[in-house]
Amino acid sequence: MPELPEVESIRLTLAKHTLGKKILDVEILWPPVAVSWFDRNFAELLKGRMIDSIDRRGKYLLINLSKGLTMIVHFRMTGRLIYYTEKQPVDKHTHIVFFLDDEGEIHYSDVRKFGRIQLVPTQEAIKIPSLAKLGPEPLNESFTFDKLGQRLANKKCKIKAALLDQRTIAGLGNIYVDEALFRAGIHPGKSTNTLKVSEIILLYNSICDTLTEGIKAGGTSFRDYRDADGKKGLFQESLMVYGRGGKGCKVCGSLLVRGKIAGRTTVYCPTCQK
């Protein structure tokens, strides 16, 4: 599933090609993916609108269109939004094609079909329930280690579960939680109410660093992820634990443990993470 760095990479690459472009037409090949708040047809409402700006909130992409409409894209497991400079054939996984006034096309495709694109009034976008409940953006200046500490103090659960919960912080998923906990030297099964201030500071720094490096690398392409140029990210080459269960720790050489914590596959180092 695209996490914060992947959605941010899609935002950056899509904005590079499409800002200021007009949507001339829209073809919907698999209707359930397109969800509209309006009585009028999704495709009809988009025709003639300009792509004004593209924002991100957690793992959601917000494509702001002229005259007050926003498309909220939630990629879920395997959603992809790719820009092509010219006409591009569709395949069985292409669900929506947006035709732009530069003869380019944006294709939304999704093998697993869990992703959705919601069309909402721009002023309502951040108020829809799935966005309204999101915790702070970890890379915003206003997010400090104090705030992280306060949010964790309100929970009594395993740290892995707390960080996966989008109400604690927005944008982290299985990859970046495992990586951030490894860098902080914190065992994923540790209870949030036993964390010392020094551990919260380490965790805060490791979350910010891991996400920032993930964005710089264009995201992690472990399986399906591609940016809006159709390119893979490179962060998988820097992963310390995610996807490396049973292999040697890059720091101490111990065999990395792969188990289930908070209901999710979790990889950690039994020596480096206490």
Q: Which residue has the tokens 């109400």?
A: 167
Strand partners, 265: 260
For residue 268, the minimal CB distance to Zn ion (Å) is 9
Closest CA to 5 of 163, 211, 144: 211
For residue 273, the minimal CB distance to Zn ion (Å) is 7
Q: Using alpha carbons, list the distances in angstroms from residue 94 to 6, 68, 178.
A: 20, 27, 32
By CB under 5 A, is residue 186 in contact with Zn ion? no
| Residues contacting Zn ion: total by CB under 5 A | 7
CA 173/CA 236 separation, integer angstroms: 14
Give the HSE-up count for residue 226: Cα atoms under 13 Å, Cβ half-sphere: 15
By CB under 5 A, is residue 271 in contact with Zn ion? yes
For residue 49, the minimal CB distance to Zn ion (Å) is 52
SS3 199: helix
By CB under 5 A, is residue 19 in contact with Zn ion? no
> Of 161 and 249, which CB lies nearer to Zn ion in the complex structure?
249
Member of 169, 172, 249, 267 binding Zn ion (CB under 5 A): 249
> Of 66 and 254, which CB lies nearer to Zn ion in the complex structure?
254
> Of 9 and 210, which CB lies nearer to Zn ion in the complex structure?
210
The residue of the chain with the least Cβ separation from Zn ion equals: 249
* Cβ pair 43, 31 in contact under 8 A: no
By CB under 5 A, is residue 272 in contact with Zn ion? yes
Q: Which residues, other chains included, contact 257 with Cβ-Cβ below 8 Å and sequence gap of 6+? A: 245, 267, 268, 269, 270
Q: Which secondary structure element, helix H or strand E, spans residue 13, and what is its range? A: helix 4-18
By CB under 5 A, is residue 257 in contact with Zn ion? no
Tell me the two tokens of residue 131. 């966005």
Print burial letters for 201-233: b (CB count within 10 Å at least 16), e (below 16): ebbbebbbebbeebbebbbbbbebbbbbbeebb
* Binding region for Zn ion (CB under 5 A) out of 25-33, 57-65, 76-84, 254-262: 254-262
By CB under 5 A, is residue 241 in contact with Zn ion? no
By CB under 5 A, is residue 255 in contact with Zn ion? no
Catalytic residues: 2-3, 59, 264
> Of 115 and 188, which CB lies nearer to Zn ion in the complex structure?
188
Member of 19, 153, 197, 252 binding Zn ion (CB under 5 A): 252
For residue 254, the minimal CB distance to Zn ion (Å) is 5
Q: Which residues bind to Zn ion, rule: CB under 5 A?
A: 249, 251-252, 254, 269, 271-272
